[in-house]
Amino acid sequence: MRTLLAHSLLAVAVALVGIGVLAGAANVPSPIGKLSDYGAVFDRHGRDEVNASITQISKLLRIDVYVLLSWESAYPNVAQFADAVFAAWDLASKRAILAVFLRTGTDWTASVVASSSVRTELGAMGQRLEQRMSDLVLHRRIEEAVRAMFAELNSLPAAQRASAAQIKPRASDAGGGVPVAVAVGAPIAAVILLALLIRWRICPRCGGILRVERSRFRAARGPDRVYSCRRCGYRRGG
């Protein structure tokens, strides 16, 4: 009896959780596309411009940008609403950024959520975009805020290239080019040294080792070196 009661309570708990999840999902608008303009902020030209910017960022940064403009929310603030939308739209598994603009009365608020892969690569990107748009959102200039967000995203590759250009020369100055010079120069020096050794200390007749002798002293040049081979009698110098 106790086992049956326990199973019944567990089933009820699971059902309540499921109902809560469904209720939360029901409070979240479905995506129309990557731009979901429920607030009718943009005209047709504006929507085409935003969709073109979304495509450009996808090619440039390999990040999918989703924009939601809404006037209804059952959540206490825009940040919780954005988190709920991000989860309901299953964006956590993607390289994605979601920007939510919420109208309450005549006021607007905004929140940006980024997936973990984007945060790992670009840091606190959500906060950076929110700061870029905050003043425009405060003054209800939502179209300009969306454009400012894409302008910030478009600036990232140039900034990253500039950062890389600053780092590379310092790495080279620190000795990055030295190992290459050593690797190329050492074999050449070894070959030259070996050639000189063969030229001066190997007998050209029999291949024996030449011994070094001293000839008579010459006042102008000092003593001369004489190289001779005991095996075949070859002599050079003197």
- Say whether pLDDT at 72 is over 70: yes
In angstroms, the CA 225 to CA 238 distance is 6
In angstroms, the CA 162 to CA 55 distance is 24
For the ranges 69-78, 162-171, 203-212, 216-225, the one whose mean pLDDT is highest: 69-78
> Higher pLDDT residue, 219 or 190?
190
In contact, 159 and 62? CB cutoff 8 Å? no
Residue 74: what pLDDT? Answer: 86
- Which residue type occupies 157? P
Sequence ranges of the domains in the chain: 25-166, 195-237
- Say whether pLDDT at 26 is over 80: no
Q: How confident is the model at residue 201 (pLDDT cuts 50, 70, 90)?
A: low
Burial class (CB in 10 A: 0-12, 13-18, 19+), 177: exposed
Residue 162: what pLDDT? Answer: 47
The CATH label, of 3.40.50.300, 3.20.20.210, 3.30.365.10, 3.10.310.50, for the domain at 25-166 is 3.10.310.50
Q: How much is the average pLDDT of 8-24?
A: 41
Residue 123: what pLDDT? Answer: 87
- Which residue type occupies 19? I
Q: How much is the average pLDDT of 24-53?
A: 90
- Say whether pLDDT at 117 is over 60: yes
Residue 224: what pLDDT? Answer: 65
Residue 191: what pLDDT? Answer: 62
- Say whether pLDDT at 106 is over 70: yes
Residue 184: what pLDDT? Answer: 52
- Say whether pLDDT at 147 is over 60: yes
